[in-house]
Amino acid sequence: MDKHLAAELYPEIEPHGQGRLPLDEIHTMYWEESGNPAGIPVIFLHGGPGAGSTPAHRRFFDPTYYRIVIYDQRGAGRSTPLGEIRENTTPHLINDLELLRQHLEIDRWLVFGGSWGSTLAIAYGEAHPERCLGFILRGIFLCRKQEIDWFLYGLRNLFPEAWRVLVAPLSTEERNDILAAYYQRLMSPDPAIHLPAARTWSTYEGSCSTLLPNPATISYFASDTVALGLARMEAHYFSHNIFLPENALLRNVHKLHNIPATIVQGRYDAVCPIVSADDLHQAWPQAEYIIIDDAGHSAWEPGIQSALVRAADQFKIKIK
């Protein structure tokens, strides 16, 4: 990473608008706006699924230029009910984005997403390319079987200590199908069963998300709201192949070829290995592809954070 090109996060800001948007009889979405009310709209798609958004996510964008829209997806963060899997599929999430766009009277927006947020950004873009000014994508996750298997089993090769903690509650037989074993626990109505499982699952992901150990990241992933939303939604979506046909994202990426895009990927991303970003770029050669050689998965890795801020700054020119 060239230190001369480092870009700092923008200062902390507060929303100038926020609300709760009813989505159906079950779900209500939390949303907020900050930055320039008359600026270029940008929508931030958080990871997980189920991790929720944070105030720090506003800081990737120049608030004098961008109309910054942040929200929590179904079952996540401040959206209610937390951890609810009913009526919660990728097509629902795509439709929710359209409901929010229409509610805020936005014609087109820049789509920014990392990890699961990159998955949803691509799926949304392929469904509604006419609504996308561009894409900034980080830590690419295409939710293919090999990627889910890597997360549940392959990570043991790099993080054996974290993996041992993940499987410690499971019997020898259950370890042959970690996803099914955790799904059963996470969907239990008893908090004494689902909360410890959620914390263990989420902490495992947090422990593997940075190149160097980061106690603050692990602590964030261990918090009850993040853990429950993240673990339940990930187990739900992984168990159903994200409710999309196999390899649908790569197969339909040609629909995005004419839309400007920047892909930022940590070379040593253990949660979403670089092969997925490479596969995406091979299928989408028009996209700018930036590899951060000294980074793992987290958006807060210094090189990734800097590249994302710089990408958003560069889009001020690209989408004029």
Same domain, 202 and 250: no
Q: Do 164 and 154 share a structural domain? A: yes
Closest CA to 288 of 271, 312, 255, 252: 312
Give residue 319's pLDDT. 84
Residue 45 confidence (pLDDT): 98
Instruction: Check residue 2 and give its pLDDT.
Output: 42
| CATH code for the domain of 80 | 3.40.50.1820
Count CB-CB contacts under 10 A for residue 158: 13
The pLDDT of residue 1 is 41
Q: Is residue 128 domain-shared with residue 185, that is, in the same domain?
A: no
Closest CA to 75 of 241, 248, 237: 237
pLDDT (tens digit per residue) in 53-64:
999 999 999 999
Same domain for 24 and 129, yes or no, is yes
Judgement on whether residues 176 and 259 belong to the same structural domain of the protein: no
pLDDT of residue 3: 42
List the domain range (segments joined by +) for residue 235.
Answer: 146-239
Residues 103 and 63 in one domain: yes
106: left (phi over 0), alpha (psi -120 to 50) or beta: beta
Do residues 125 and 254 both lie within one domain? Answer: yes
pLDDT of residue 125: 98
Picking from 239, 265, 285, the residue at the C-terminal end of a domain is: 239
One-letter identity of residue 60: F
What pLDDT is attached to residue 7? 81
Q: Which of 186, 216, 239 is the last residue of a domain?
A: 239
AA letter at 118: S
Low-confidence ranges of the chain (pLDDT < 50): 1-4
Are residues 131 and 263 both part of a single domain? Answer: yes
Q: Are residues 140 and 152 in the same domain?
A: no
Question: What are residue 137's DSSP bridge partners?
Answer: 113, 263
Q: 241-280: b or e for each residue (b if 16 or more CB lie within 10 Å)?
A: ebbbeeebbbebbeebeebbbbbbbbebbbbbbbebbebb
pLDDT in tens, 259-297: 999 999 999 999 999 999 999 999 999 999 999 999 999
Query: Is 40 found in the same domain as 59?
Result: yes
What's residue 4's pLDDT?
A: 39
Residues known to be catalytic: 115, 269, 297
Q: Is the dihedral angle over the CA atoms 102, 106, 107, 109 positive or is it negative?
A: negative
| Dist. CA 141–CA 118, nearest whole Å | 7
Edge-to-edge strands of the sheet including 28-35? Answer: 17-22, 28-35, 66-71, 40-45, 109-114, 132-138, 261-266, 288-292
Total number of domains constituting the chain: 2
Residue 6, pLDDT score? 63
pLDDT at 320: 67
| Same-domain pairing of 140 and 253 | yes
Answer with the one of 189, 214, 239 that is the final residue of a domain. Answer: 239
For 298, the 3-state DSSP assignment is coil
Statement to judge: residues 19 and 140 lie in one domain:
yes
